[in-house]
Every structure is written in structure tokens, then in C-alpha cells.
């Protein structure tokens, strides 16, 4: 088996934290509508994307996830009014932290999916699975020394 064959056989393990009010309902709509998307996503439902501590993302990667997705209501449509604004700001900082600790920030994705966007949910999942598949399996954390 060649190296190329191994990478083609790799199926990434993706952990997705979904807002209860929008993204989880969008994922549910995709399922009930029988829209096809990759099955290798483990969904964790949270009440709001703003309730996700950045350490949850790092912990998921430490525990064996190859990629992490956070999905919430569209900006301005949050059930809790400002929740997705907090999420957007918090995870912009997390991207820089991931770079610093040696994790490719492409392993992390933030998206906005509403309850009526089952097709968009399938597109988001397909995109992150494809991108993480190209990156290969998650390796140990390696600290990057700033120049």
C-alpha cells in the first residue's frame, strides 16, 4: 500500500458543536429530507454557539478529533440576541491560538446555518470533511516558535 492509498482511505473524525435553535434544526432538516452528506460527523447540541468555550475545541482535538465545526444562527438572528457576535469574536482569537500551538487552523471551522437551510448544512459538512481529509490525520500538538 502506498502513501497515496493510505491518505485516500483516511476518513476524518469531525466533532460539530451546533446551536439548538438554528444549526441543529438545519442538520435535522437535512436528515429528515434525506439530503446526502458525509456520516463521519459527531454532533453535540448546545443551547447557543456562544456557550462553547474555546477549550472545548482544543480538548476535542486532543481527544482524537481531526477537525471541529462550530455552527450557529446567522449574525443578527441569534435566539439570545448577541450570542453569535460573541462566538465570532472569541473564535477569531482561537484561530490565532491554534496556529501558535501548532495546529493547522483549517481543522477548525465556524459557520452560520439557519433552521431552514438543510442543503447548506450538507454543503458545510461536505466542505469541512473534504478539507480535513486533504490535511490528513491529526498529529500531536507541536509548538510553533514565533520568528
- In tens, the pLDDT along 50-87 reads 999 999 999 999 999 999 999 999 999 999 999 999 99
CATH of domain 3-135: 3.40.50
- In tens, the pLDDT along 7-46 reads 568 999 999 999 999 999 999 999 999 999 999 999 999 9
Task: Count Cβ atoms below 10 Å from residue 69 Cβ, excluding itself.
Answer: 26
What are the structural domain ranges in the chain?
3-135
Compute, in degrees rounded to 10, the torsion defined by CA atoms 91, 107, 63, 141.
-90
Say whether pLDDT at 145 is over 70: no
User: In whole angstroms, what is the distance from residue 114 CA to residue 93 CA?
Assistant: 24
Say whether pLDDT at 143 is over 70: no
- What count of Cα atoms within 13 Å lies in the side-chain half-sphere of residue 147? 0
Strand segments, DSSP code E, in the chain are 14-19, 41-46, 67-72, 108-112
Amino acid at each position: 500500500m502506498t502513501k497515496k492509498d493510505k491518505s485516500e482511505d483516511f476518513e476524518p473524525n469531525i466533532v460539530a458543536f451546533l446551536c439548538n435553535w438554528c444549526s441543529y434544526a438545519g442538520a435535522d432538516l437535512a436528515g429528515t429530507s434525506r439530503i446526502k452528506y458525509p456520516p463521519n460527523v459527531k454532533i453535540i447540541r448546545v443551547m447557543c454557539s456562544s456557550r462553547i468555550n474555546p477549550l472545548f475545541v482544543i480538548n476535542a482535538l486532543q481527544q482524537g478529533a481531526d477537525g471541529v465545526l462550530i455552527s450557529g444562527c446567522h449574525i443578527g438572528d441569534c435566539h439570545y440576541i448577541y450570542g453569535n457576535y460573541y462566538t465570532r469574536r472569541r473564535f477569531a482569537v482561537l484561530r490565532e491560538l491554534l496556529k501558535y500551538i501548532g495546529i493547522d487552523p483549517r481543522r477548525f471551522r465556524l459557520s452560520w446555518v439557519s433552521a431552514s437551510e438543510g442543503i447548506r448544512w450538507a454543503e458545510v459538512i461536505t466542505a469541512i470533511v473534504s478539507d480535513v481529509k486533504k490535511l490528513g490525520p491529526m498529529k500531536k500538538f507541536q509548538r510553533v516558535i514565533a520568528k
